[in-house]
Chains A and B, each alone.
Chain A
């Protein structure tokens, strides 16, 4: 099945799921129905892996990886994601990691930005300005690249070593940031993600401090989001949490976002990568 046909079929199923989801506010029982419908949709995606709309962005990302771009007019094929220049397969499963050439720990999107800056000559300012699309618009080029690279580790298990001194320090910082309360609502990541079985309105919240729950969800990002009809990356996910926490706009690739993602990936160690995933 081609990607286009698969996606068309997926969208029909999706429309059916949304019809159920639209009625979800009527009763908790129907909320369960919605969860079941989305679970069924996920199951069908698994059976027909070509039907996830996020794969269109993974395809676009593959094209971008191999296309000369930026002031230097070069491709990203010499980008070293940790397993040598140009290697894509399995790299996402071993990120974040410390990169000696950059002198810092980086997760996927930050490393891709570094390559775009150093190899293609794209300015850092351009890369960090408005990196995420508005709702309904496709993920931007960086996100498409991230979706492509992550999809090439799909089915593998998270195996970031995170055992070097610099890496361990970043994971510890991620933990401190996860629990750091700030802003007019006293919110931290832990406000919503430090207990099992909790919800905001009807939305279930993963208990991210618990490796069991972290393993189930962390490896699904980047994910295609049904509600915004676009792929959302992990950096975008964290940025959106800080919006909800009443904080200003979190810079993509900042030490804070990298440390948080390192902490989450450490919690998800051994969990299966299923990217791009599918979210509400």
Chain B
């Protein structure tokens, strides 16, 4: 089972490494300037969204297929950006996790002033439970994720880390760095960990 899981993980990682086609030498300074100019009504506190950190830059330029040394550097850098719960507990409440997984609310320009907490929108890309048939397929299916890993502590920690910062596991992953980028709070991430790893969760039923 672990081998199968590993195979799936490798498959996912390699799926992002589409064949490196020849890339035009894009003038990134010009692109950055065009982006700033293209959103002239952006409020002052949104300007940070135009900027890219080093990881975003490297993933953009390589079209999500960074060369090995760059991928290793991204992984190391992003791993260092993971913050853990102060109480040391990685699992919260799966019922609350299910609501967070269903919600795509938050951070769009129509979401201000905020009317509710941000969602994780997990179902947009992942299959999680039997009951929810409206799921996307950009990410791997996560049905029985905890069960097939015997609800192990090591895997629970790995799930927390993947949700907090997916690129610490898969450099240039399509998945948002939900914790590092402050899309979700640590408590919300704990609830999602419970959804994936709790024996009581419908994900594992």
Contacts and interface: CB of A to CB of B under 8 A. Distances in A.
Nearest to A243: B108
A198 B138 contact: yes
Interface residues of A, number: 47
B40 A202 contact: no
B39 A184 contact: no
Interface string B147-189: 0000000000000000000000000001011000111000000
A200 B125 contact: yes
Instruction: Name the residue in B38, B49, B60, B137 with the highest tally of chain A Cβ atoms < 10 Å from its Cβ.
Output: B38
B193 to A, nearest CB: 20
A27 to B, nearest CB: 6
B133 A28 contact: yes
Instruction: Name the residue in A25, A187, A248, A255 with the highest tally of chain B Cβ atoms < 10 Å from its Cβ.
Output: A248
A73 B73 CA distance: 61
Given A176-B60, A243-B109, A184 B181 contact: yes
Interface residues of B, number: 48
Contact of A249 (B24, B107, B109, B177): B109
A185 to B, nearest CB: 4
Contact of B134 (A192, A201, A244, A256): A201
Interface stretch (B26-34, B80-88, B90-98): B26-34
B24 to A, nearest CB: 4
Given A192-B138, A255-B37, A184 B31 contact: no
A248 B109 contact: yes
A197 B137 contact: yes
B56 interface: yes
Interface in B94-130: 107-110, 123-125
B181 A254 contact: no
